[in-house]
DNA sequence: ACCTGAACACCGTTCAAGT
DNA sequence: ACCTGAACACCGTTCAAGT
């Protein structure tokens, strides 16, 4: 099934997931890199619906080249924001090392929501990560965030501060929803924290009040 | 300031808001009506982003005619769904007559979320209604829903089952957010009720547990 | 092996010409 | 007073031709 390594080439350098990264032509590598940088900038400026043609033009490549490297808008978005997503996932563990599980989960949800609002273009990605069974369910970003959410959820279950019927997928979906809700307000950032706090109160097992 | 009645014409028939409805040419009235019917059908088929050109074509009118009657997509969406929105607002009072305020609010939030998911094209409208200060803040749909939400919220405040710092605008935003969250799942309708229940638990004043 | 950019299909919006 | 539809600008996507 695997196409990796086909052709009898000696094993080359491998990427973060262990997939073989075959050496590209120098111009291809340059274009790839340039497209990523430009895409991140343009998405930030114009939002996740930015014109792909503009990205190609600004990167100085033909539109066909963009499609060759990133066959879908989603693929480009993901590639442009992997590092942000991974940073968000890494935050989960930092926070977990600092706070008790319930509070850590709440804090991470806040940061997730804030990131979704602040970084234009990230919302579509988090939405895809939060969707299940869809065509993007198995993207790198999706599994990275889901794993982070799962680690926090499991700790909170053990601690007894998260309802056992609420799972990582629910948390990602709800974070996306609350970020969307906050984004409806003029200054959305002010609302995320509040909405997350309200929700998390409801996610505690019945009868267990907040300590605050 | 008011342009209504300008020109010295005798007062004609008035619409629901008291604005003068001047008699239109017969073809204009026909086109208006036909556009509304076709728009509702096409939005239901293709979603809120449906091609306006397709709507015009199916209605048998030139594209310019559509723009004459409905200068923006939002205006067309709103006109096509006013009755649904008003039905949702009316439900608020029906429910309030049947259940204690806290439960009524929860039930209405469930129905609002479900409607948002079920009726394609409604989401953009509820989003606009939930947004504040935006260009659509004063649409008919917006104020209708906000008034309904406000009535439920005030009753729940008096009863002491809704935090006093959560207002009607918050409720609309959160309903929209939870509908969005649910819509990320394969079968979104199954999640709305659950997500609403979880949230509403968090919207109770501190220390007040559910009676369930 | 990779890139280019013309070509195609589609969409929203405007507006001169019609009745 | 209202309608029509061509015209324009824009976008995504494909693919024959190049190097």
Q: From the CA of A121 to the C1' of C13: give the distance in Å.
A: 27
Best residue in B132, B161, B172, B181 to probe A by mutation, most A CBs within 10 Å? B181
For the CA atoms of B14, B20, B26, B30, the dihedral, rounded to the nearest 10 degrees, stands at -70
CA distance B141 to B126: 8
User: Which positions of chain C lie under 7 Å from any protein Cβ?
Assistant: 1-7, 10-16
User: A71: which 2 tokens?
Assistant: 């066959």
Handedness of CA A113, A90, A105, B113 (dihedral sign): positive
Tell whether B180 is within 8 A of chain A (Cβ): yes
For B129-149, write each residue's pLDDT tens digit: 888 655 554 677 888 999 999
Domain A81-203 bears CATH identifier 3.40.50.620: no
For B13-53, write each residue's pLDDT tens digit: 444 444 445 567 888 899 999 999 999 999 999 999 999 99
Would the Cβ of B51 be found within 7 angstroms of any atom in strand D? Answer: no
Asked if A131 lies within 8 A of B185 by C-beta distance, the reply is yes
Report residue B173 CA to chain centroid gap.
12
DSSP-assigned states of every residue in chain B: ---TTTTSPPP--B-TTS-B-PPPPHHHHHHHHHHHHHHHHHHHHH-TT--HHHHHHHHTS-HHHHHHH-SSHHHHHHHHHHHHHHHHHHHHHHHHTTS-HHHHHHHHHHHHHHHHHHSTTHHHHHHHHH-SSSTTTTSHHHHHHHHHHHHHHHHHHHHT-S-TT--HHHHHHHHHHHHHHHHTSTTTHHHHHHHHHHHHHHTSPTT-----
Domain ranges in chain B are 10-71, 81-203
Closest residue of B to A201, CA-based?
B202
CA distance B204 to A42: 42
Asked if B184 lies within 8 A of A131 by C-beta distance, the reply is yes
Domains A10-71 and A81-203 share a fold: yes
Tell whether B177 is within 8 A of chain A (Cβ): yes
For B44-78, write each residue's pLDDT tens digit: 999 999 999 999 999 999 999 999 999 999 999 99
The full 3-state SS of A141-196, as one line of letters, equals HHHHHHHHHHHHHHHHHHHCCCCCCCCHHHHHHHHHHHHHHHHCCCCCHHHHHHHH
Asked if B131 lies within 8 A of A173 by C-beta distance, the reply is no
Per-residue pLDDT of chain A (212 residues), as tens digits, is 333 333 333 334 444 444 445 567 888 899 999 999 999 999 999 999 999 999 999 999 999 999 999 999 999 999 999 999 999 999 999 999 999 999 999 999 999 999 999 998 899 888 988 886 555 546 778 889 999 999 999 999 999 999 999 999 999 999 999 999 999 998 989 999 999 999 999 999 986 555 54
| pLDDT the model gives residue A186 | 87
3-state helix, strand, coil in chain A (%, to 5): 65, 0, 35
Would the Cβ of B71 be found within 7 angstroms of any atom in strand D? Answer: no
Number of neighbouring beta carbons within 10 Å of residue A55: 25
Closest residue of A to B201, CA-based?
A202
For the CA atoms of B72, B74, B79, B83, the dihedral, rounded to the nearest 10 degrees, stands at 180
Residues 88-147 of A with CB under 8 A from B: 127, 130-134
A11 phi and psi angles, rounded to 5 deg? -60, 125
CA-based nearest residue to B174, from B211, B136, B129, B138: B129
Task: Measure in Å the smallest separation between the Cα of A132 and chain B Cα atoms.
Answer: 6
CATH architecture of the domain with residue range B10-71: Orthogonal Bundle (1.10)
């Amino acid at each position: 099934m695997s196409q990796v390594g086909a052709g009898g080439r000696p094993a080359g350098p491998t990427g973060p997931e262990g997939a073989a990264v075959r050496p590209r032509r120098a111009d291809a590598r340059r274009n790839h890199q340039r497209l990523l940088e430009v895409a991140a900038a343009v998405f930030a400026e114009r939002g996740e619906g930015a014109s792909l043609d503009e990205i190609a033009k600004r990167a100085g490549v033909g539109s066909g080249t963009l499609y060759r490297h990133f066959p879908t808008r989603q693929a480009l978005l993901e590639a442009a924001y992997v590092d942000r997503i991974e940073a968000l996932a890494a935050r989960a563990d930092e926070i977990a090392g600092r706070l008790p599980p319930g509070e850590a989960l709440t804090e991470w949800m806040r940061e997730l929501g804030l990131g979704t609002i602040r970084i234009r273009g990230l919302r579509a990605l988090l939405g895809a990560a939060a969707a299940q069974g869809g065509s993007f369910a198995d993207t790198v970003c999706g599994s990275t965030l889901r794993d982070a959410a799962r680690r926090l959820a499991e700790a909170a279950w053990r601690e007894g501060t998260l309802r056992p019927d609420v799972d990582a997928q629910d948390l990602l979906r709800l974070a996306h929803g609350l970020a969307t809700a906050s984004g409806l307000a003029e200054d959305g950032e002010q609302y995320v924290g509040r909405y997350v706090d309200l929700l998390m109160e409801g996610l505690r097992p019945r009868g267990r009040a907040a300590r605050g």
